[in-house]
């Protein structure tokens, strides 16, 4: 009878194990696809000097690298959760710090890209002076500083409240592990809401200014219209970022940008289509 009970339990666990493996394989396959797309976009960026010297594309590269790293960290946490694997608290803190930081960098970068379009359309005479690769690097540094504020406030609240016994045990690693008291989660939500309001107001401001410039413009209406649509795209990407869909933002931007799309399509097809040329005549 005991043997029959053991066989029954084995058979009942088999479908669950099969579903687990199927789900894990699907997620890993999708992860591989997204990382391949991001890698292709990054490769395309480095193939043309005109991309490497443009602040707009440098910021775009930053979203690609940041999202790829975020996907890798998210995948590690997902696999640990699916396999019910506990890890040391110190290692978990490192993963969460990087994850939370990267979670905020993409929407902040999208906001910076909207400001860059605002300068290009509304301040064309100063665009070359303000939108330099060096200033883009400085902007990326500021973005990481701003992202780190939320992260380190969140971690500091945990370190100040966690008993010493926490550090001697192994834990299932996720961000909610660091919310010991309800007020800690509330403080984190407030900080994210402040960031969201700041980014939303900035993007709305740039869009309104570009629309006003479009009404006054008499010459380069095409560039103004493209700038307005780009800011709208960034607003849409911001919404995607806030609902944990970061891996779609770079793909949307890369496919929409005419110059980048031509080069991307050429290398995506391994140069086999001779009708497609990676030569860029203007930015």
Tell me the pLDDT tens digit for each residue of 32-45: 888 888 888 888 88
Question: What's the structural domain count of the chain?
Answer: 1
The token duo for 81 is 């959760």
Highest mean pLDDT among 5-9, 20-24, 91-95, 203-207: 91-95
Residue 276 lies in a domain: no
Q: 279 lies in a domain?
A: no
- C-beta pairs of 79-88 under 8 Å, 24+ apart in sequence: 79/24, 80/172, 80/173, 81/172, 81/173, 81/174, 82/20, 82/23, 82/24, 84/172, 85/172, 86/170, 86/171, 86/172, 86/173, 87/170, 87/171, 87/173, 88/170
Taking the C-alpha atoms of residue 119 and residue 127, their distance in angstroms, rounded to an integer, is 6
Enumerate long-range contacts of 85-89, CB under 8 Å, 24 or more apart: 85/172, 86/170, 86/171, 86/172, 86/173, 87/170, 87/171, 87/173, 88/170, 89/166, 89/167, 89/169, 89/170, 89/171
Is the pLDDT higher at 211 or at 205?
Answer: 205
Q: To the nearest whole number, what is the mean pLDDT of the chain? A: 77
Residue 283 lies in a domain: no
What's the CA gap between 123 and 225, in Å, rounded?
15
151-199: per-residue pLDDT in tens?
888 888 888 887 877 777 888 888 888 888 888 888 888 888 888 888 8
User: What pLDDT is recorded for position 16?
Assistant: 63
**Is residue 277 situated within a structural domain?**
no
The pLDDT of residue 56? 86
Judge whether 220 lies within some domain. Answer: yes
Query: In terms of pLDDT, which residue wins out, 183 or 211?
Result: 183
Q: What is the pLDDT of residue 254?
A: 58
* Residues near 220 by beta carbon (within 8 Å), at least 6 away in sequence: none
Who's near 280: CB < 8 A, 6+ residues apart? 48, 50, 259, 262, 263
Burial of residue 107 (number of CB atoms within 10 Å: 0-12, 13-18, 19+): buried
- Residue 13 within any structural domain of the chain: no
Residue % of the chain over a pLDDT of 90: 10
Residues spanned by the domain of 111 = 21-268
Residue at 189 is within a domain: yes
Q: Which tens digit of pLDDT belongs to each residue from 101-122?
A: 988 898 899 889 888 888 888 8
Structure tokens at 10: 């084995």
Question: What is the pLDDT at residue 146?
Answer: 92
pLDDT surpasses 90 at 141: yes
The tokens describing 140, both together, are 């990326």
Tell me, yes or no, whether 196 lies in a domain. Answer: yes
Average pLDDT of the residues in 61-67: 90
Query: Using 50, 70 and 90 to split pLDDT, how confident is the model at 2?
Result: very low
Mean pLDDT lowest among 8-12, 96-100, 186-190, 252-256: 8-12
Give the CATH number of the domain where residue 212 resides.
1.20.1070.10
Q: How many whole angstroms separate alpha carbon 76 and alpha carbon 189?
A: 24
Q: Which two tokens stand for residue 264?
A: 């991307």
| Interval 225-276: pLDDT, tens | 666 666 666 566 656 555 544 464 555 555 556 666 676 666 666 665 655 5
């Amino acid at each position: 009878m005991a043997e029959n009970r053991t066989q029954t339990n084995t058979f009942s666990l088999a479908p669950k194990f099969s579903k687990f493996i199927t789900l894990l394989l699907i997620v890993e396959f999708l992860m591989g696809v997204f990382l391949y797309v991001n890698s292709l976009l990054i490769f395309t960026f480095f193939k043309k000097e005109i991309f490497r010297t443009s602040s707009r594309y440098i910021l775009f590269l930053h979203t690609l690298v940041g999202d790829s790293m975020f996907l890798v960290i998210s995948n590690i946490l997902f696999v640990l959760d699916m396999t019910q694997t506990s890890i040391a608290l110190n290692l978990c803190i490192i993963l969460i710090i990087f994850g939370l930081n990267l979670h905020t960098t993409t929407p902040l970068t999208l906001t910076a890209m909207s400001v860059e379009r605002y300068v290009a359309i509304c301040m064309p005479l100063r665009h070359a002076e303000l939108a330099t690769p060096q200033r883009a690097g400085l902007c990326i540094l500021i973005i990481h500083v701003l992202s780190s504020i939320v992260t380190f406030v969140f971690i500091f609240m945990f370190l100040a409240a966690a008993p010493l016994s926490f550090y001697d045990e192994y834990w299932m690693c996720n961000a909610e592990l660091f919310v010991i008291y309800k007020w800690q989660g509330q403080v984190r939500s407030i900080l994210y809401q402040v960031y969201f309001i700041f980014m939303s107001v900035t993007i709305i401001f740039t869009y309104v200014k570009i629309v006003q410039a479009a009404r006054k413009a008499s010459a380069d209406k095409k560039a103004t219209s493209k700038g307005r649509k780009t800011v709208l795209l960034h607003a849409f990407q911001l919404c995607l970022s806030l609902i944990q869909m970061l891996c779609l933002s770079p793909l949307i931007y890369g496919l929409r940008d005419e110059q980048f799309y031509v080069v991307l399509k050429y290398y995506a097809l391994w140069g086999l289509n001779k009708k497609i040329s990676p030569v860029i005549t203007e930015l």
